[in-house]
Structure 1
Amino acid sequence: MAYIVKYLSQQNIVNTYIGGLREDINMQGNDLVDTQIMFSIGHIVFQIPFMYILYAWPLSYVLPGLEIGWAILTCCAALVKNANQLKAVRFLTGSLEAPAYIAYHALFASWYKASTGEISRRAGIYYLGQYLGLLTSGLLSGAIARSLGGVGGYAAWQWIFMIDGFICLFVAFLGFYMIPGTPQDCYSAFLTDDDIRVARRRMKADQKSSKPRENPTKQFFDLKIWKKIFSSWHFYVLALWNTFCWNNSNGNSGAYALWLKSLTNTDGTPRYGEGQVQDMTALTPGLGLIWLILVCSFADLFQSRWGAILFSQVFNVLGNVLLAVWYIPEGAKWFAFCLQYFGWAMAPVLYSWQGDICRRDIRERNVILVSMNMVAQQSTAWISKLVWATVEAPRFLKGFTFTACSGFSLCIWTMLVLYLYKREEKAHAQENGIIIYDSSKQDLEEVQRNLETDSVERVEEIVVDTEKSDKN
């Protein structure tokens, strides 16, 4: 529900733009894309403090509190009088929505084992909220445009903002009751003490690091961990990997909605009437639900995250290539737009994989999670200005071409991540229960005796740590 309302709030800018906002506040030229960029800037800048907050603060209180803030701002957007006021409100809304996606991925990595195929489908279920939010936004906006326009002296676009805000507010209050925190700091009405202890042991067995009980701030700002982060391939390779992910879909550009609005009948009249365009925008995210389930299930059931990513990008690149060509039958354009959410269908797989790669240190995991998200998202802020200029609608030649190239680059970079990941796992083979030895230099029985001794010491250490944790 949290991710549904996030995208309900985020996508309403496109639905209100085609539903009367542009004319009422005199938006011109690239005001739409500029407003989206202001949202992105707020979203990017305010992720920085969450490197620490994700680690040290109870997310069961932080996240619902932020949702209340952006719900109020969404309602305030209904009162703007010009484009500059709208940009200011959207900047603040983006600032409060900044940690929404990364915070929940941090929670997933704290509760589920990455090594058993548990996490991709669960992250995918959360990611369903994006498509449901996009779908609901279109259908809800269409219904509002037909039934509430002019009621109480408010235009349809104003009602869209206000109703979206009220829905966000309701879900925010539910969050205080439903979000459990992490196994180390759990405030759940649904889990027993035994459930929490089991969760802690599971994460210990999966080599998952957790927040210390004492001096978390001091440990977070330890220079050693920051040197480790910036000297590791994790920071640089994963940041560029995620950048390709963020730029491999045309879904947020509004290209599909603007194309629908440009369609006309043979006599030159618009093909779709009041509210119908908004209804039609629900088609592609509705199909995106299917693509998302397919890709995330592929990753877990076949135990192949890299295969799931490549599978999704075959269809994504195909759709964007067709749209870049553009001068094709209208049926082919419908087909291409129906594939547009294949691009992001692999995002839960990518973020879950990052949690596995960085699982051995919670500080590194959260810092790199936020960093790679920031680096990727900041690229969309200026790239969208270059390739998704509103004045080029509905044929975004640069946009569709760039998106296809990003999807192809993502496939290549995924193979690099796979190679580096396997190399690192090999270095930690013994921790993973795998014995690697040179038979010409070592005797197998001797190796096994040494491992048994090490295992006993490690189990004793885990038991002691778990008992201390349970007492606390």
Structure 2
Amino acid sequence: MNVEPDLPPPTVLLDADRQSYIGKPTSKKGKWQKFVSFIWDSDYYEKSDAERKLVFKLDCFMLTAMTIGWWLKNLDQNNLSNAYVSGMKEDLNIQANQYTYMGTIYNAVVAAMQIPSSFIVMKVRPSWFLAACEVGWGIFTFAQAGAQSYQAMYGFRFCIALFESFYYPIGFFILGSWYTRPELAKRIGLWFIAGPAGSAFSGFLQAAIYKNLDGINGIAGWRYLYIVCGAMTVPCGITLFFLVPDFPENTKVWYLSEEEKALAKERVARNGAQAMKGKIDGSVIISALKDWKFWILVPFYCIYGFAVQNGTQFGIYLKAYKYSVTLRNVMPSLMYIIQCPCILIYCYISDRTTRIQRGWIMLGPLIWGIFPTAVLAFWAPSNSLRVFAFMANGSLYITPVFYAWVAEMCGHKTEMRAFITGATSCLFYAFNAWLPAIVFLQTDGPRFKKGFRTTFSCCVASVIFVIVIILMRRREIRQENNKMVDETPSEAAGGHGQSERNGDIEEKP
């Protein structure tokens, strides 16, 4: 027998929002709905038709636009390494560790802007802000084609980093503001895999350009790479203005009706998240600094983020071992292609297993990662095994699952979620601004003894950190449940505790 879902409790909707609901929402429940629930959103069968339509629109417009933007961001970012091994080093006479310093400048600027970015979009509409940023980095992507010295590249990398720095934390923040627990990780995963897809495409694109355009009109192939990518980036930036819906509380986007905007706000409340008020309260930072999440989640992401850095040295390794220019670009691209299905699998499992914490899903890839990082750390004698270790680096990424977990743990405090999201990225890029310059010196390549042993140590430490987070979160859930039992015994007995709303449900022994 089909049972229609009850209306949301009146307390979660404003009076104006309640007017959009007339009677009970209809919900088609047939074989198709069961099939979609099985392969996609586990709650699709129980959703109303209106909610299904809303999520579909968000997927088609918001998710698609932001995914393309993220794809281009990583395409433009990865161009540096592909250009370096395709003639830029010789044309610009890049010596010693000057290439490493280009990455240091980029990471330093990005690190500085991570925390401010999440607060900026509380005051400035993300649709305006992200569109302006993408057009900005597209212009400076063009500019790199005209670089005549490594000093010019320093300046261009600074400007590109300034504009690109906002996309990462703001993207996670926006997606976490629109999607619910059974929906979130998969969408973040789809958005995130556009990153390795962009990095992979950059390699294939550079290989094709080098083969077909190198030397045409007296222009080197690596310069054509920047020209082509800039021409792709600027138009995409303009589309973000029309397709990013801002936040449920202030959206004016054209493709959502007033009823759908009201439903979006109701979904936020139902998901246990606090509404975005557009106010920046300084006490949030103090509150976050007193919370265990800041002192464990932020360092974890920094350590984990460095544990997966081996892949960035793959092209350098291939060049040192006399692989062709084409293989130097194509083989690292294959590593990024491996990353895409792995991320989707981790996210899918994470969304389906709603009875356990997402941390358990993160443990598997991190434990497996100890092997390929160890191969490079202790420099296995086989070249084939070392190449395999580089390729396997693509299977270690659990970033979307982590950020979905952060959204759940901090969802009841929007400002804290913004601060911790920005802080995790900030510390990661801050470490990336100086640590590679110490442990991944180009003069140490391709062995990179210090660097590979550092990533191996970080991978082992990441496993320990995840276990600690799981235990701390379990203790927090118990405390919340005990508090609710003391305050509202009848509600706790009915199974509507805070831990269930936040998505982490502790199984009883």
Out of 232, 257, 261, which is 2:315 matched to?
257
Give the match for residue 65 of structure 2.
Answer: none
Partner residue, 2:481: 429
What residue is the counterpart of 1:124 in the other structure?
Answer: 189
CA distance in 2 between partners of 1:25 and 1:423 (Å)? 56
- Contact in 2 for aligned 1:358/1:365 (Cα 8 Å): yes
Q: What SS does structure 1 have at the residue aligned with 2:180? A: coil
Cα distance change of structure 1 residues 318 and 153 upon mapping to structure 2, 3 Å threshold = same
Whether 1:406 and 2:473 are equivalent positions in the alignment is: no
| Alignment match, 2:393 | 340
Residue in structure 1 matched with residue 501 of structure 2 by the alignment: none
Q: Residues 209 and 328 from structure 1, CA distance in 2 versus in 1: closer, same or farther, beyond 3 angstroms?
A: same
Q: Distance in 2 between matches of 1:70 and 1:207?
A: 36
Q: Deviations over 1:142-184 (max 9, x none)?
A: 1011111112221111111111111111211221222111111
CA distance in 2, matches of 1:57, 1:251: 37
Structure 1 residue 226 displacement after superposition:
3.0
Task: Say which of 386, 401, 412 aligns to 1:349.
Answer: 401
d(CA) in 2 for partners of 1:110, 1:287 = 29
Structure-2 change in CA distance of 1:335 and 1:276 (3 Å):
closer
1:65-76 mapped onto 2 (5 Å cutoff): 65-76=132-143
CA distance in 2, matches of 1:449, 1:311: 36
2:163 corresponds to which of 77, 96, 107: 96
SS of equivalent to 2:255: coil
Aligned in 2, Cα 1:449/1:404: closer, same or farther, shift over 3 Å? Answer: closer
Superposed CA deviations along residues 346-392 of structure 1, whole A, max 9, x for unmatched, are 00111111111111111111111111210121011111111111111
Contact kept, 8 Å, 2:410 with 2:417, in 1: the verdict is yes
Structure 1's 251 and 64: CA in aligned 2 closer, same or farther, altered over 3 A? farther
Worse-matched range after superposition: 127-136 or 243-252: 243-252
What corresponds to 1:183 in structure 2? 248
Cα distance in structure 2, aligned partners of 1:100 and 1:316: 27
- Retained in 1: the 8 A contact 2:128–2:241? yes
Residue 96 of structure 2: which of 22, 29, 42 is its match? Answer: 29
* Aligned mates of 2:475, 2:129 — CA distance in 1: 37
Local SS of the residue matching 1:50: helix
Partner of 1:282, secondary structure, is: helix
Amino acid in the other structure paired with 1:144: I
- How far apart, in 2, do the equivalents of 1:209 and 1:430 lie? 22
| 2:225 equivalent to 1:167 | no
- Are 2:294 and 1:235 equivalent residues in the alignment? yes
Residues 55, 363 of structure 1: 8 Å contact kept: no
Equivalent residues in 2 for 1:312-331, closer than 5 Å: 312-331=365-384
Counterparts of 2:157 and 2:261, CA distance in 1 = 39
With normalisation by structure 1, the TM-score equals 0.86
1:403-440 CA deviation, whole Å, 9 max, x = no partner?
A: 11111111111111112222222333389xxx646xxx
Q: 1:291 aligns to what?
A: 342
Q: Report if aligned partners of 1:55, 1:366 keep a CA contact under 8 Å in 2.
A: no
**Which amino acid letter does the alignment assign opposite residue 339 of structure 1?**
A
Comparing 390-399 and 420-429, the one that deviates more: 420-429
Helix, strand or coil: the match of 2:96? coil
Contact in 1 for aligned 2:203/2:330 (Cα 8 Å): yes
Contact 1:111 1:199 in 2 (8 A): yes
- The corresponding residue for 2:416 is 364
Q: Supply the AA of the counterpart residue of 2:302.
A: T
Question: CA 1:447/1:246 → structure 2, altered by over 3 Å: closer, same or farther?
Answer: closer
* Percentage of matched positions with identical amino acids: 21
The alpha-carbon deviation at position 320 of structure 1 amounts to: 1.0
In the aligned structure 1, how far is the partner of 2:463 from the partner of 2:415? 28
Mapped to 1, the partners of 2:443 and 2:457 lie a distance apart of 22
1:380 match: 432
Contact 2:285 2:419 in 1 (8 A): no
Task: Give the SS at the match of 1:118.
Answer: helix
Show the 5 A alignment for 1:40-119: 40-114=107-181, 117-119=182-184
Contact 1:42 1:93 in 2 (8 A): no
Which amino acid letter does the alignment assign opposite residue 490 of structure 2? Q
Q: Distance in 1 between matches of 2:183 and 2:197?
A: 22
**Does the CA-based 8 Å contact 1:54-1:103 persist in structure 2?**
yes
Structure 1, 364-373 or 61-70: larger mean CA deviation: 364-373
Residues 425-464 of structure 1: matches in 2 within 5 Å?
Answer: 425-429=477-481, 436=485, 447-448=489-490
1:12: which partner in 2? 79
- Counterpart of 1:335 in structure 2: which amino acid? F
**Correspondence 1:158 to 2:223:** yes
Q: How has the CA–CA distance of structure 1 residues 190 and 251 changed in structure 2, closer, same or farther, with 3 Å as cutoff?
A: farther
Distance 1:31 1:252, change over 3 A: farther
Q: Quick one: which amino acid aligns to residue 356 of structure 1?
A: E
SS in 2 for 1:281: helix
Q: Secondary structure at the match of 2:121?
A: helix
Shift of residue 450 of structure 1?
10
Shift of 1:286: 0.8
Q: Given the superposition, is the C-alpha separation of residues 276 and 436 from structure 1 closer, same or farther in structure 2, using an over 3 Å criterion?
A: same
Q: Show the 5 A alignment for 1:188-267.
A: 188-212=253-277, 216-217=278-279, 220-222=280-282, 224-251=283-310, 253=312, 255-263=313-321
Residues 67 and 97 in structure 1, CA contact (< 8 A), matched pair in contact too: yes
Bigger mean CA offset, 201-210 vs 243-252: 243-252
1:11 Cα offset (Å): 0.5
Between 122-131 and 314-323, the greater mean CA deviation after superposition? 314-323
TM (normalized to structure 2)? 0.80
Instruction: Please tell me whether the aligned partners of residues 115 and 419 of structure 2 are also in contact (alpha carbons under 8 angstroms).
Output: no
SS at match of 1:326: coil
| Separation of aligned partners in 2, 1:31 and 1:313 | 32
The whole-number CA distance in structure 2 between the counterparts of 1:196 and 1:139 is: 41
The runs of 5 or more residues in structure 2 that have no matched partner are 1-67, 498-509
Distance between the aligned counterparts of 2:391 and 2:323, measured in 1?
19
Residues in 2 aligned to 1:412 and 1:59: alpha-carbon distance in whole angstroms: 36
